[in-house]
Amino acid sequence: MSCVGDALDFGDKTLKIKAATLDDLRYALSMGARDFARAPLFGLFFGGFFALGGIALTYGIFVLGILWLAYPLIIGFSLIGPFIATGLYDVSRRLEADQSLNWPDILLVIWKQHRREFGWMAFVTLFIFWIWMYQIRTLVAVFFGSSGFASLERFLEAVFTTDTGLTFLIVGHLVGAVISLILFSLTVISCPLLLDRNIDFVTAMVTSIRTVLASPIVMLGWGSFVVVCVLLAAVPAFAGLLVVLPVLGHATWHLYKRLVSDQSST
């Protein structure tokens, strides 16, 4: 593999990367909504699976008495969405090719991904998600000590009414922004790319990073939009994810197809 301008060369083929525009984002969203409307049961299934995962994680931190982790958990949870939405990419791919949609074929495609490079992509995604959660615990220990908080109210009081708490918020959001940027850049294009093409996960991540670098303001705007949508969808007990995840998942597929294309090497 070699880099050629805004392309990645693989010998007989070159992956051409197009700089994203606001029109591309609008197109992707409209196509995402269209695909959800054409195959709503699949969207509701994968959206429901994602929502149940969020509920389970929230219940876990409630049982453990660490509700103050809810906010970073939801943000981090939104960042692994591109990996979770694999089934939605396949639905969009089949709709695009006028292929039939049936549960066995789609679920089998998803199952087969663990034997391909998707397994490594899952490891990278979950590892960065673990770093995301661990850095929150570390910052809490640095700023507030290791004694913990008796309740969520005590934590909120310490954060919003003290200088230490406000500094914690600033540093925490800065560190979180860096980790979010890394994970978003690695996965936004690589997940649909791995499903669509027989390439290795490193190449997929490099392509994803180069796509973000080709139009950083637009792509970071897209990433911020996704996080805000997931945060709002999580407010009503994650029920909003039944619609938000499938629309964004289908939209991600169409954004990938809009920005990455084949071109024969010369």
- Cβ pair 133, 60 in contact under 8 A: no
More confident residue, 11 or 134: 134
Indicate if the pLDDT at residue 263 is higher than 70. Answer: no
Q: What is the pLDDT of residues 179-231, one digit of tens each?
A: 888 988 998 999 899 888 888 889 999 999 999 999 999 999 999 998 889 88
Q: What is the pLDDT of residues 58-114, one digit of tens each?
A: 888 888 777 777 777 777 776 677 777 888 999 999 999 999 898 988 888 777 766
Confidence of residue 255 (pLDDT cuts 50, 70, 90): very high
Q: How many residues does the chain have?
A: 266
Residue with tokens 């997931």: 230
The pair of structure tokens assigned to 201 is: 């996960």
- Mean residue pLDDT across the chain: 84
Indicate if the pLDDT at residue 13 is higher than 70. Answer: no
Mean pLDDT of 242-247: 94
Confidence of residue 145 (pLDDT cuts 50, 70, 90): confident
Rounded-to-integer distance, Cα 134 and Cα 146, Å: 14
The pair of structure tokens assigned to 150 is: 């008796």
More confident residue, 107 or 119: 107
Q: What is the pLDDT of residues 17-55, one digit of tens each?
A: 999 999 999 999 999 999 999 999 999 999 998 888 888
Chain centroid offset of residue 52 CA: 17
Of 54, 59, 63, 68, the closest CA to residue 141 belongs to 68
The pair of structure tokens assigned to 153 is: 């109210």
Rounded-to-integer distance, Cα 29 and Cα 240, Å: 16
SS3 category, 8: strand
Model pLDDT, residue 18: 93
